[in-house]
Structure 1
């Protein structure tokens, strides 16, 4: 089990984290592992990798240290053949991050012994016109220009699900059901289910409620009026669409997460008391 190549990607904007990262790296080296770090990490004496598919795909394990933003940023640069990911929490917000930084050695010993589970999480991919968008672990958000509202309709395959006028719509994965969608009135989806959750944002049609759809569906969002609609993928604006445009959304790949705890609902509770 020690003949493995491990990559480490860390949050880089908090100097208080660096002593902990160095301890993690020195511990991994003490285990005789081939350790590489992300090229943006300002540390010397290590081999580097860039956040590109061809460089990350050769890793046996990717360790991400930071908060949810660090993980989402990392995955936004990776399209295919992502290695299993171990998430290490640093900072206040880290619902997606499983173990604390001070627990790392304890749980990595368990990893070396094979005492862990693999949890898979589907991502969402989208495109419109000739624009291919990056995959999202959490959600695609379509929101009207500041101060405006948008008229749109949602199709599941070739069946219209609803037409609405409001601020926009969130299309979330199972993982994303506990993020922006939950804050906007969407349901909590159990992590063993693999679905889309579509949550209308402030619709004027008061009967409209979030809809849960099969992840195998192809979803289409048609814009019906002249409002500029921003397309935000896991918190980052990636473009805009307007009348006549259709955003197509599908399931992409599944990310494999190394899990040691069965604490999905406890982590949701922790998020809500932050």
Structure 2
């Protein structure tokens, strides 16, 4: 098996854990690779020179699995760079609050062994596609947010469902979140938790002036269009808190289900939504 490794840049702890992943992989007969964008990291160069490791690219990832070491942000960046490549991702968290990540550092020897023996499940997670005109953004695992370009000012926008008007709002913006993302930014803004088995997503207003506005859950096949009205200030479309693009007054972003889900490797026998949410949040 060919295992690619990507870790949080500029983190000594992440590099040290990644080195342990590589050691276990080599010991168990796997071919190990490091993602080439990490070559500027001194620790990555040391790992490559001291171990039997080659490099791979997210653009053409000729590996069977990508092991991501870090936190939620590291995983989201890795998935954005993987794009539509149908490669499963093994997740290793550095600390206690890596909400999306499955494996602890202490579990690395056992989980590498399980990986090579095929003792795991690949769970598919819905992603969203966001497009401004002809410009496509990376697929969103958690959410697509449309927010004001200036925090102290109100953004004015209209929300459409399949080209049918839903509501007009003034406020900080709006979030379109997947079931997985419903436990992230959307939840902190008062949105509901969506069970992962639900084929849908939620549109959550951010601090609306119209206090009666509430989150709305839509079917997964729905297309949501968010339009900035002509007298609005400029806004930003932000994907998973990682990638942003400006949107001018009169501009629109189209959000719909992405054709390729994220594929994340899970090892634990019991892994329900609620068992992952509440122990980590409390």
> TM (normalized to structure 2)?
0.89
3-state secondary structure, aligned to 1:193? coil
Matched, 1:173 2:178: yes
In structure 2, what is the equivalent of residue 66 of structure 1? 70
CA contact (8 A) 2:145 2:239 kept: yes
In structure 1, what is the equivalent of residue 99 of structure 2? 95
Matched, 1:205 2:210: yes
Distance 2:142 2:90 in 1: 17
Distance 1:151 1:130 in 2: 23
* Shift, 1:230, TM fit: 1.4
In structure 2, what is the equivalent of residue 48 of structure 1? 55
Residue segments in structure 2 that go unaligned for 5+ positions in a row:
39-43
* Shift, 1:180, TM fit: 0.5
1:103-162, CA deviations, whole angstroms, 9 ceiling, x for partnerless residues? Answer: 122123233333322210121111113322221111111111221112211111122222
Distance 1:134 1:21 in 2: 25
In structure 2, what is the equivalent of residue 230 of structure 1? 236
3-state secondary structure, aligned to 2:238? strand
Distance 2:15 2:172 in 1: 41
CA contact (8 A) 1:67 1:92 kept: no
* Shift, 1:69, TM fit: 0.8
Distance 1:148 1:92 in 2: 36
Matched, 1:239 2:232: no
Residue segments in structure 1 that go unaligned for 5+ positions in a row:
none
In structure 2, what is the equivalent of residue 20 of structure 1? 17
CA contact (8 A) 1:8 1:64 kept: yes
CA contact (8 A) 1:230 1:237 kept: no
In structure 1, what is the equivalent of residue 41 of structure 2? none
Matched, 1:251 2:257: yes
The Cα RMSD (Å) is: 1.6
Distance 1:256 1:134 in 2: 15
Q: Which residue of 4, 12, 25 corresponds with 1:7?
A: 4
How is 1:96-135 mapped onto 2 (pairs within 5 angstroms)? 96-135=100-139
In structure 2, what is the equivalent of residue 269 of structure 1? 278
1:199-253, CA deviations, whole angstroms, 9 ceiling, x for partnerless residues? Answer: 0001122221111111221110011133111111111352221321111111111
